[in-house]
A and B are shown apart, each in its own frame.
Chain A
């Protein structure tokens, strides 16, 4: 069956360190992978999109990698700040099933300690 797996345990890091979040998927052939940030009780906010033929994408302190062989994406936040504390969701398209709708992982909660 198709799965998107993100670490359900919260990630706690110190301010200034690099946070690395993992998204693994099985039985998908995504053309795109996206990362969103979600604060409690709020709607997800888009952060980055990476295509299957791209290995890496950067935006300010954010970096995403996409390895279609490993079926994995890594999301990095460098020089993390307490304001980065949130839940981060990865999402990919369901091209395989023809649905063409974003399927989301359950998210990883990041807590940055001052």
Chain B
């Protein structure tokens, strides 16, 4: 158990809808990262928050947004969903402010299926 909690584990929705994925980092970790993993793309970095502030953006679509709250949990909002958004969405946490300076602790992921 990594200590990172993601909900929901599975989500099935229709095109055009909006969903929110939630992540609680390990106790004491200030950094939260979001990654998307689809069959043909591998793990793609979306966004990084550190102590409530956005630190880095990856290939995140404009239809997606995220935030990190004062209690350090984070939410990833996906709107106007398309079939291609179907993927596993992982949250990872770290005590460090930047990537690469230490290991990432991943949650078990939220599997999103868009029909």
Contacts and interface: CB of A to CB of B under 8 A. Distances in A.
Interface of A: 30-32, 34, 41-46, 49, 89, 92-95, 99-107
B70 interface: no
B44 to A, nearest CB: 8
A94 B103 contact: no
B107 A101 contact: no
Given A43-B107, A44-B43, 6 more contacts: A32-B100, A34-B100, A43-B108, A99-B99, A101-B48, A104-B43
A46 B58 contact: no
Interface of B: 2, 4, 33, 35, 42-43, 45, 48, 55-58, 88, 90, 92, 98-109, 111
A23 B73 CA distance: 33
Contacts of B109: 41-43
A92 B100 contact: yes
Contacts of A32: 100-101
A46 B42 contact: no
A105 B42 contact: yes
Contacts of A45: 2, 106
Contacts of B56: 99-101
29 contacts: A30-B100, A31-B100, A32-B101, A34-B100, A34-B103, A41-B111, A42-B109, A43-B2, A43-B106, A44-B104, A45-B106, A46-B105, A49-B102, A89-B43, A93-B98, A94-B99, A95-B100, A99-B58, A100-B56, A100-B98, A100-B100, A101-B45, A101-B48, A102-B99, A102-B100, A103-B45, A104-B35, A104-B43, A104-B45
Shortest 7 CB-CB contacts between residues of A and residues of B:
A93-B100, A43-B106, A46-B103, A106-B42, A101-B99, A100-B98, A104-B43
Nearest to B108: A43
Contacts of A105: 42
Contacts of B48: 100-101
Contacts of A103: 45
Given A101-B58, A102-B104, A93 B43 contact: no
